[in-house]
Structure 1
Amino acid sequence: MFSFLRTYILFFSLFIILIVFIWIKWISYHFSPKKNIPPSPPKLPIIGNLHQLGLSPHHSLQALSLKHGPLMLLHLGSVPVVVASSAEAARDIMKTHDLAFSSRPKMSIPDTLLYGSKDITFSPYGEYWRQVKSIAVVHLLNSTRVQSFREIREEEMALTINKIENCCGRSVIDLSEFLVVLTNNIICKVALGRTYSGIKFKDLLGRFMNVLGVFSFGNYIPRLSWIDRLSGLEGQARKVAEDFDEFLEGVVEEHISDRRGVYAKSNEDQDLVDILLDVQRDNLTGFSLQRETIKAIILDIFAAGTDTTFASLEWAISELIRHPRVMKKLQQEVTEIAQGRPIILEKDLEKMQYLKATIKETLRLHAPIPLLIPRESTQDVKLMGYDIPAGTQAIINASAIGRDPTLWEEPDEFRPERFLNNTIDYKGLHFELLPFGAGRRGCPGIQFAMVVNELALANVVYKFNLALPNGMKNEDLDMSETTGITVHKKSPILVMATPRL
Structure 2
Amino acid sequence: MYKLPPSPPKLPFIGNLHQVGSLTLHSLRALSMKHGPLMLLHIGQIRTFVVSSAEMAQEILKKQDDIFASRPSVKADNILGYGALNVSFSPYGEYWKRAKKLYIAHLLGPAKVRSFKQAREDQVRFVLEKIRQAQKMSKSVDLTELFNLFAIGILGRLLSKNFSEKHLMLELTNQGAALYFEFNFEDYFPPLRFLDTFLQYESKLTSISKRCNDLFEKMISDCQNGAQDDKKAVVEISGREGGGNERTEMKIEVMANAIDGALEGDEEEEEMEELASQVVDEIGIDIICELVKAPTAAVN
**Does TM-score exceed 0.5, indicating one fold?**
yes
Q: Deviations over 1:456-475 (max 9, x none)?
A: 5544334323459xxxx979
More helix by share: 2
Moved more, 163-172 or 242-251: 163-172
Deviation at 1:476, TM superposition (A): 11
Q: Deviations over 1:265-306 (max 9, x none)?
A: 24xxx23xx2243334544x7x55722122123342366x4x
Match of 2:297 in 1: 494
2:56 to 79, 89, 94: 89
Instruction: Give secondary structure in 1 for the equivalent of 2:6.
Output: coil
Match of 1:239 in 2: 207
Match of 1:408 in 2: none
* Structure possessing the higher relative contact order (Cα contacts under 8 Å, 6 or more residues apart): 1
Question: Could you list the runs of 5+ residues in structure 1 that have no partner in the other structure?
Answer: 1-32, 260-264, 306-443, 479-491
Instruction: Give secondary structure in 1 for the equivalent of 2:68.
Output: coil
Q: Superposed, which structure 2 residues align to 1:162-181 within 5 Å?
A: 162-176=129-143, 177-181=145-149
For the structure 1 residues 245 and 95, does the alpha-carbon distance in structure 2 shift closer, same or farther, using more than 3 Å as the test?
same
For the structure 1 residues 124 and 166, does the alpha-carbon distance in structure 2 shift closer, same or farther, using more than 3 Å as the test?
closer
TM-score by length of 1: 0.53
1:220 to 180, 188, 206: 188
TM-score by length of 2: 0.84
Match of 1:465 in 2: 285
Number of paired residues? 296
Match of 2:224 in 1: 256
Q: Deviations over 1:391-443 (max 9, x none)?
A: xxxxxxxxxxxxxxxxxxxxxxxxxxxxxxxxxxxxxxxxxxxxxxxxxxxxx
1:126 to 93, 96, 100: 93
Q: Superposed, which structure 2 residues align to 1:94-243 within 5 Å?
A: 94-176=61-143, 177-190=145-158, 193-197=161-165, 199-243=167-211
1:292 to 239, 244, 248: 248
Q: Deviations over 1:444-486 (max 9, x none)?
A: 8773353487665544334323459xxxx979956xxxxxxxx
For the structure 1 residues 233 and 454, does the alpha-carbon distance in structure 2 shift closer, same or farther, using more than 3 Å as the test?
farther
Deviation at 1:235, TM superposition (A): 0.9
Match of 2:43 in 1: 76
CA RMSD of aligned residues (A): 3.1
CA distance in 1, matches of 2:112, 2:292: 42
Deviation at 1:144, TM superposition (A): 3.1
For the structure 1 residues 244 and 477, does the alpha-carbon distance in structure 2 shift closer, same or farther, using more than 3 Å as the test?
same
Deviation at 1:175, TM superposition (A): 4.6
Match of 1:448 in 2: 265
CA distance in 2, matches of 1:41, 1:222: 22
CA distance in 2, matches of 1:253, 1:475: 39
Contact 2:120 2:266 in 1 (8 A): no
CA distance in 1, matches of 2:291, 2:137: 24
Deviation at 1:215, TM superposition (A): 3.0
Match of 2:236 in 1: 278
Deviation at 1:239, TM superposition (A): 0.6
Instruction: Give secondary structure in 1 for the equivalent of 2:70.
Output: coil
Deviation at 1:246, TM superposition (A): 0.9
For the structure 1 residues 47 and 453, does the alpha-carbon distance in structure 2 shift closer, same or farther, using more than 3 Å as the test?
farther
1:42 partnered with 2:9: yes
Q: 1:53 is matched by which residue type in structure 2?
A: V
For the structure 1 residues 169 and 281, does the alpha-carbon distance in structure 2 shift closer, same or farther, using more than 3 Å as the test?
closer
Q: Deviations over 1:135-178 (max 9, x none)?
A: 11221123332232112112221233234334435413315244
Instruction: Give secondary structure in 1 for the equivalent of 2:299.
Output: strand
Q: Deviations over 1:293-332 (max 9, x none)?
A: 22123342366x4xxxxxxxxxxxxxxxxxxxxxxxxxxx
Contact 2:87 2:96 in 1 (8 A): yes
For the structure 1 residues 217 and 255, does the alpha-carbon distance in structure 2 shift closer, same or farther, using more than 3 Å as the test?
same
